[in-house]
Amino acid sequence: MFIEVLTPESTIYVGDVKGVQLPGIDGSFEILENHAPLVAALGKGKMKIIVSNNEEQFYEIEGGFAQTDHNKTAVLAEGAVAL
């Protein structure tokens, strides 16, 4: 699936991934390939991008929104810092 992670200041990540785990306002959730369409509010917490079976990237995000549809996911975060 394709993902874009954006903040008001910069582009954090763009590319194909296996999945992403996000901190929703009601708890964390994961988006994988062929996920049903979704729009979700994000809280402050850790985001894990699953790049491949051997590689994961972690970020601390400050909240925002996530949207997924047709194997394309956009994460619009108020702020993000690589961990």
Q: What domains are there in the chain, each with its CATH number?
A: 2-82 (2.60.15.10)
Task: Please enumerate in sequence order all residues whose Cβ is within 8 A of that of 13, keeping only pairs 6 or more positions apart, or say none.
Answer: 3, 4, 5, 49, 57
Structure tokens that stand for 32 in this block: 């994988």
Is 0.85 surpassed by the pTM of this model?
yes
* 83 residues of the chain, pLDDT tens digit each: 999 999 999 999 999 999 999 999 999 999 999 999 999 999 999 999 999 878 999 999 999 999 999 999 999 999 999 99
pLDDT for position 53: 77
